[in-house]
Amino acid sequence: MDCRIKSDFSVIEKIHTPADLNQLETPELSALADELRRIIIRRVAENGGHLASNCGSVELTVALHRVFNAPGDRVFFDVGHQSYAHKLLTGRAESFEKLRRYDGISGFPHPEESGFDPAPAGHAGSALPVASGFAAAEPDADGRLIVVIGDGSIGCGVNFEALNHLSHNPGKRRIVLIINDNQMSISRNVGGLSTYLNRVISGTFYNRVRYGVKRGLRRLPKVFSLLRSLVISAKGALLPRGNFFELLGLRYLGPVDGHDLPNLVRVLERIKAFDAPVVLHVVTQKGYGCSYAEDDPTRYHGIAGCDAETGKLPAGSRGFSRALGDALLKLAEDDPRVVAVTPAMIEGTGLSEFSRSYPERCFDVGIAEEHALSFCCGLAAAGKIPVCTFYDTFLQRALDQIYHDGVLAKVPLILAVDRAGVVEDGPTHHGIYNCGFLRSLPGITICAPARCKDVERFLKMAIKENHPVVIRYPRGSSPDVELPELDIPVVPGKAAVIRKSPADRAVIWSIGRELFTALACADILAGAGIAVTVVDARFLKPFDRALALELAMLPHFTIEDHCVVGGLFSALNEALSGVPHGVVRGFGWSDEELTGHGEIPKLRAHAGMTPEQIAGVISGALGETL
Amino acid sequence: MDCRIKSDFSVIEKIHTPADLNQLETPELSALADELRRIIIRRVAENGGHLASNCGSVELTVALHRVFNAPGDRVFFDVGHQSYAHKLLTGRAESFEKLRRYDGISGFPHPEESGFDPAPAGHAGSALPVASGFAAAEPDADGRLIVVIGDGSIGCGVNFEALNHLSHNPGKRRIVLIINDNQMSISRNVGGLSTYLNRVISGTFYNRVRYGVKRGLRRLPKVFSLLRSLVISAKGALLPRGNFFELLGLRYLGPVDGHDLPNLVRVLERIKAFDAPVVLHVVTQKGYGCSYAEDDPTRYHGIAGCDAETGKLPAGSRGFSRALGDALLKLAEDDPRVVAVTPAMIEGTGLSEFSRSYPERCFDVGIAEEHALSFCCGLAAAGKIPVCTFYDTFLQRALDQIYHDGVLAKVPLILAVDRAGVVEDGPTHHGIYNCGFLRSLPGITICAPARCKDVERFLKMAIKENHPVVIRYPRGSSPDVELPELDIPVVPGKAAVIRKSPADRAVIWSIGRELFTALACADILAGAGIAVTVVDARFLKPFDRALALELAMLPHFTIEDHCVVGGLFSALNEALSGVPHGVVRGFGWSDEELTGHGEIPKLRAHAGMTPEQIAGVISGALGETL
């Protein structure tokens, strides 16, 4: 199937709730899957979003909603980046047009968006633990709790904790765990369990009949579907004994072809009749049905948009991520101790080229944030200089390890924290909450470069420190401007004064790329004859207290792409606390209202964080009007 | 063997480094184990510490140091509460007298204490990830990396992440994973993996020969030791096929009797010769060799001290924990929605009686902090009112889940956070870093009762909230005093003004039990004629900003059993930031220097947190002398 967009959506129009699927004959179900896929491709091409994962799970989603009765039966999509078909089938087909828009629906499940979404999702591994809670709350309830989880997410620690606990759950019989096995997380999967799942697939009759068939599993003759279903009725008969899940006390079925809709429906109908926790192993292909996404599922995992026909991606600016990757390449060349570690974010954090140039010095540990951090601490203690790349939101998973294995051991660990700030994906992915914890840890450095081009100098500074250093930068790029004031050496605890004059009536403090918001404010204010000092704090810890004291008596305004609590605003207030000082006003993301999803300029405007809004507040505070 | 303390320590006197073990004949090794155990029992009886876990691992530790060559071979004790014998064998026999003292050695491993401790330990599951980092750093090095991990800790998420990643580790051949299986974490173990390990034990020849022998495994006739060693040479032959660890790509050996020293030495000698990652499953008995600890290993897991002969424990004050347990019992009686959840801390967090009264409403999920939190979120979403009990230091593991599964879902989850403050165990166990993160989350309430007797009222307040509520309280008890000012209703965002007069020259803000430090300060100051306002903040979030503004122009002093960054001091500074106000000075634990272990009064004095010290600073700031 190619990606041509047809105008024919005759089946989806009949579906207002999942119950409507019961009206469809088998051929219509397949037509529905095709329609869903075309809608998804068109919408993601336009709005951006997750393409490959959503294409791969269309048939599975259709089969689930055909067989089970949502919302009485609850369907949890782990991570949630494969829930588009689910959204389209659960009353959100019309609102799907505004997918990921500020005034539209989210790219992830959320109970406030729909009663068909039992829990928020965005981080890996939460679905089974949360569903387990539902099960234990009402062990005797009828509704099944269906958890769809990727084979990458299966290796995630919290998911294993839930699997391990499941045998003790009084409501375990309600759980149906679907492993959507596409042999990928965002990148190709790693780990013993993943290897094991592959061995299961390749060691079974399932795969022997598949052998020789390139791609397109559903092209298999019907007879094989029938034979495959035998694997299910004769539980485990074709599997090696001692299946991983059965050792943990769960009943295992599969593997089955995740694109063979009629067979999926048959298998799920049988599972529906069970009164025991079941693991169904479904094999899918990431990007299935969209040729370019099939060919390069990593590239088309999450995109900002593309040409729907050809898949051509817009010339992207992956500024900070690439800057990190480039800087790391240079440093690695000079210093054999430099290695890179990431929990399944090679591409997203700019490590692709590094991983090709230094495969033996680049460790992708899979979706395992906690292990990633502790693993780095071991590397560091043994003499390496590990640079661990993270998205800030996922770093929340490893805060304990930063303290316990990093800070306590006083190891020279470098955390390169990408997506530190608000992102379009919304609250599950914002990187705006970690600084409060990090700032309280003794023996840690927290800093942020203002420009992409500064990343390298911050990294060089970090390498000289003998304890954990956190370097934070947002998604995307920065203005590529020359600013001599930024060329001063990067010294822990030293801010950079960007603008200053004796006539200044206030000081704007910024951190990281927000310097450019600060400068834009300053320009607006200057236009109204109001001169202000502009400081790039550079370091949240150690914070430049000396500078704060020097400027103490001015009114202070802070701008940060972080929650207004815990970061720059808090640090400045603490630094000034012991002396008389001017008022301090903070501009950042709310600690009282959740920050949503959508276009960043709209999110900023809602939060009062545009240069114009900030300049307005500052001039008002100074008794002036703009 | 009973617990009589003999004065004969002739073997241990010969051991200055582990290499000295090579001089000993087999009978001397056994005598050494006996001596070590007696020293441990005597010392823990006097100084407090971990008794049952350390008694259970003596023979294993002796065998490890006899066979391997530390520190070239590195021995990691996961959690670290079984490392006393290791400390005694690695040059710390003399300093062992000051175990857990402010001026003595820690109860946990730390590289700064000894070159024989490759990493800090205190939280479960860190040893294998960190050791994996050592392995990857030098894949071709000779030294083995021996990781001793309990069967409870094995189910911990980060440990599984490390296990899962191990097959991809270039240095994996260096790893020797010893599962110290005593069928316990702190409490009896839960989880499918634990059940599986038990099945392995009970399903093998090993256990069939053990059948009928109560306790004392080493009493088995010698022939069985020989036969058991056959299990090892014929890899897996007596095991069910498809061993859990082998499915993950690791070589599994065992189970072996962890108290049969000669056999342990033989088995480890064979393992030493392997060039592959090995899992050795060792079965031990918690409290082994100390009759009272054998009989009640949970009670004697960690103690404040006891009579070495009889095990008689001092009349303990488990004030806040018990208050939580009692309050929960009452609430559960009134409201069937109330349930309790804890990650392996039933006893420590005061849930023992609750778990007996309401076994079906009490969920111990094992050492699985992340799952515990998300599981609660599922319970809450399904209509329950889960009260999740945690030690604050372990809550660091679940911060992401609080946000992702709790805050985003807006579920009525109650977190009862025990040991929130500094504890004798030291930095691995201090609960002083979480408030900075928590305070930045929208839609969360953070509070702390001043007295044990207030816990119930805080809990009742929390039950009425429709979002996550964190109730924090320290280890131990509070003065049981009547204070009418504390009897005002517990209302989110409302502080309690405890003392106030028009003559007040400053305001002391406290949170939780620190109110009594504040009152002691106020008394000292009053004695010098200095009147001060005393406020119990009660809520860190929402913070009583109105009161802060009312008192703004006074000098402010905050007292908290938390890092001075992130909690009360930061909250007050933020609240006052927008208006002219008096200076703010914070008393709390340092964010620049790690807070150590030992007697709490000494730790407080070091940090300048005694009432006398604080009163001195306040009077000085007011230009007075005491």
Sheet bearing A251-257, strands edge to edge: A74-77, A145-150, A175-181, A278-283, A251-257
Per-residue pLDDT at A152: 84
> What is the per-residue pLDDT for B16?
94
DSSP 3-state assignment of A51? coil
Count of H-run helices and E-run strands, chain A: 24, 19
Best A76, A106, A108, A130 residue to mutate vs chain B (most B CBs within 10 Å): A130
CATH of domain B319-472: 3.40.50.970
- Which is the catalytic residue, given B100, B210, B218, B286? B286
Cα–Cα distance measured from residue B433 to residue B589, given in angstroms and rounded to the nearest whole number:
9
Domains in chain A: boundaries: 12-303, 319-472, 493-621
Q: Residue A381 pLDDT > 50, yes or no? A: yes
Alpha carbons A452 and A445: distance in angstroms, whole number: 19
Please give the pLDDT value at position A237: 33
Q: What is the pLDDT of residue A190?
A: 63
Nearest CA-CA partner of A450 in A571, A568, A329, A331: A568
Q: How far is B55 from chain A (nearest CA, A)?
A: 25
Nearest to A158 among B118, B157, B580 (CB): B157
pLDDT at residue number A232: 31
Distance from C-alpha of B586 to C-alpha of B564, rounded to nearest angstrom: 6
* Number of Cβ atoms within 10 Å of the Cβ of B526: 13
Which CATH number fits the domain B12-303, given the four candidates 3.40.50.1700, 3.40.50.300, 3.40.50.970, 3.40.50.1100? Answer: 3.40.50.970
| Tens-digit pLDDT profile for residues B93-117 | 999 999 999 999 999 999 999 999 9
Are the beta carbons of B442 and A594 separated by less than 8 Å? yes
Model confidence pLDDT, tens digit, residues B9-52 = 899 999 999 999 999 998 999 999 999 999 999 999 999 999 99
Is residue A36 predicted with pLDDT exceeding 80? yes
User: B580 vs A548, A558, A582, A614, B504, CA distance in Å?
Assistant: 17, 17, 7, 21, 19
- Chosen for mutation from A160, A279, A429 (greatest number of chain B CBs closer than 10 Å) is A160
From the list A130, A248, A436, the residue facing B437 with the nearest CB is A436
The alpha-carbon gap from B107 to the nearest alpha carbon of chain A, in Å, equals 15
Confidence of residue A249 (pLDDT cuts 50, 70, 90): confident
The per-residue pLDDT for range B148-206, each reduced to its tens digit, is 999 888 889 999 999 999 989 999 999 999 999 987 655 566 667 777 676 666 554 33
Q: Which residue has the higher pLDDT, A209 or B187?
A: B187
pLDDT-wise least confident of A86-95, B28-37, B311-320, B462-471? B311-320
pLDDT above 60 (res A210): no
Tokens of A462: 């970090």
**Residue B3: predicted pLDDT:** 43
Taking an 8 Å cut-off on Cβ atoms, the answer to whether A119 and B193 are in contact is no
What's the whole-number mean pLDDT along residues A108-137?
97
pLDDT score for B231: 32
pLDDT digits (tens, 9 = 90+) for B292-332: 999 999 899 999 999 999 999 988 666 999 999 999 999 99
C-alpha separations of A290 from A52, A56, B22, B304, B469 in Å = 8, 9, 66, 64, 46
A355 touches chain B (CB under 8 A): no
Mutate to test the interface with A, among B154, B159, B161, B244 (most CBs of A within 10 A): B161
Distance from CA of B234 to the nearest CA of A (A): 19
Query: How far does A288 lie from chain B, in Å, by closest CA?
Result: 28
Contact A404 B122 (CB under 8 A): yes
- pLDDT tens profile A484-515: 999 999 999 999 999 999 999 999 999 999 99
B604 is catalytic: no
- Catalytic residue selected from A87, A286, A451, A541: A286
CB contact under 8 A, A437 and B566: yes
Distance CA B390, CA B348 (A): 9
Q: Does A165 contact B193 at a Cβ distance shorter than 8 Å? A: no
Q: Scan for tokens 């990090």, then name that residue.
A: A438
Q: What span, in angstroms and rounded, lies between the C-alpha atoms of B81 and B274?
A: 28
CB A574 within 8 A of CB A544: no
* Residue B429 distance to chain A (closest CA, Å): 9
**pLDDT for B199:** 61
Please tell me which residue of chain B has the smallest CA distance to A199: B247
A584 vs B: CB within 8 A:
yes
Query: If you average pLDDT over residues A390-418, what whole number do you get?
Result: 98
State the DSSP H helix or E strand holding residue B176, giving kind and residue range, or none if neither.
strand B175-181
B580 touches chain A (CB under 8 A): yes
Q: Is the pLDDT of residue B525 over 80?
A: yes
Is the Cβ of B408 closer than 8 Å to some Cβ of chain A? yes
At residue B226's C-alpha, the angle toward residues B225 and B230, to 5°, is 110
Distance from CA of B346 to the nearest CA of A (A): 16
Contacts across the A-B interface (CB distance below 8 Å):
410
Handedness of CA B229, B235, B240, B244 (dihedral sign): positive
Q: What is the pLDDT of residues A318-363, one digit of tens each?
A: 699 999 999 999 999 999 999 999 999 999 999 999 999 999 999 9
Active-site pick, A144, A318, A397, A541: A397
Answer yes or no: do B120 and A244 touch at CB < 8 A.
Answer: no
Tokens of B341: 């959840």
Give the tens place of pLDDT for each residue, B370-416: 999 999 999 999 999 999 999 999 999 999 999 999 999 999 999 99
> For B508-521, how does the pLDDT look when each residue is reduced to its tens digit (9 = 90+)?
999 999 999 999 99
Contacts with A, B 369-398, CB within 8 Å: 370-371, 373-384, 386, 394, 396-397
What is the pLDDT at residue A289? 95
The answer to whether B286 is a known catalytic residue is: yes
Query: Which residue in this structure is represented by tokens 């507040």?
Result: A617
Q: Is B46 helix (H, G, I), strand (E, B) or coil?
A: helix
Say yes or no: B196 contacts chain A, CB-CB below 8 A. Answer: yes
Single pTM value for the model: 0.93
Question: Which amino acid is residue A152, in one-letter code?
Answer: G
Query: Is a pLDDT exceeding 80 seen at residue A185?
Result: no
Task: Say yes or no for a CB contact (<8 Å) between B400 and A396.
Answer: yes
Given a cut of 50, is residue B486 above it in pLDDT? yes
B533 close contact with A: CB closer than 8 A: no
- A295–chain B nearest CA distance, Å: 25
Residues of chain B found within 8 Å of residue A134, distances taken between Cβ atoms: 378-379, 381-382
- Percent of chain B beyond pLDDT 70? 89
Among A147-161, A201-215, A585-599, B265-279, the least confident range: A201-215
Of A195, A368, A433, the CB nearest to B440: A433
Between residues 226 and 255 of chain B, which touch chain A (CB distance below 8 Å)? 240-244, 247-250
Residue among A537, A601, A624, A608 at smallest CA distance from A574: A537
Contact B472, B519 (CB under 8 A): no
| Predicted pLDDT of residue B225 | 36
Beta-carbon contacts of residue B355 (< 8 Å; ≥ 6 apart): B340, B346, B362, B364
Residue A220 has pLDDT above 50, yes or no: no
Q: Which 3 state secondary structure label does DSSP give A469?
A: strand
Is A12-303's fold the same as A319-472's? yes
Could you give the angle at which helices B568-576 and A568-576 cross, rounded to 10 degrees? 90
In the sheet that B584-589 helps form, which strands lie side by side, from edge to edge? B496-499, B533-536, B507-510, B556-563, B584-589
Judging contacts by C-beta atoms under 8 Å, the chain B residues touching residue A112 are 410
B339, closest residue in chain A (CA to CA): A137
Q: Are B194 and B245 spatial neighbours (Cβ–Cβ below 8 Å)?
A: no
CA dist B484 and B482 (Å) reads 6
Q: Tell me the average pLDDT across B225-247.
A: 44
Tell me the Ramachandran region of residue A18: left when phi exceeds 0, alpha when psi lies from -120 to 50, beta otherwise. alpha
Kindly report, residue by residue over B57-98, the tens digit of the pLDDT.
999 999 999 999 999 999 999 999 999 999 999 999 999 999
> Could A134 and B434 be called an inter-chain contact, meaning their C-beta atoms sit closer than 8 Å?
no
Closest C-alpha to A375, from A400, A336, A406, A417: A406
pLDDT band at B417 (very low <50, low <70, confident <90, very high): very high
How far is the C-alpha of A82 from the C-alpha of B335, rounded, in Å?
A: 38
Is there a contact between B406 and A368 (Cβ–Cβ < 8 Å)? no
Given B37, B172, B210, B397, which residue is catalytic? Answer: B397
Q: What is the pLDDT of residue B238?
A: 35
Using the predicted structure, report yes or no on whether residue B212 has a pLDDT greater than 60.
Answer: no
Residue with tokens 């059948």: B211
Q: Report pLDDT digits (tens) over B603-613.
A: 999 999 999 99
CA pair distance B367, B364, nearest whole angstrom: 9
Q: Looking at beta carbons, which residues of chain A come within 8 Å of B168?
A: 190-192, 365
The answer to whether residue B579 scores a pLDDT higher than 50 is yes
Architecture of domain A493-621: 3-Layer(aba) Sandwich (3.40)
B199 belongs to the catalytic site: no
Residue A263 class from Cβ within 10 Å (0-12 exposed, 13-18 middle, 19+ buried)? buried
**Does residue B400 belong to the interface with chain A, where contact is any CB pair within 8 Å?**
yes
Number of residues written out for chain A: 626
Class level of CATH domain B495-621: alpha beta
Burial zone of A542 (CB within 10 Å; 0-12 exposed, 13-18 middle, 19+ buried): middle
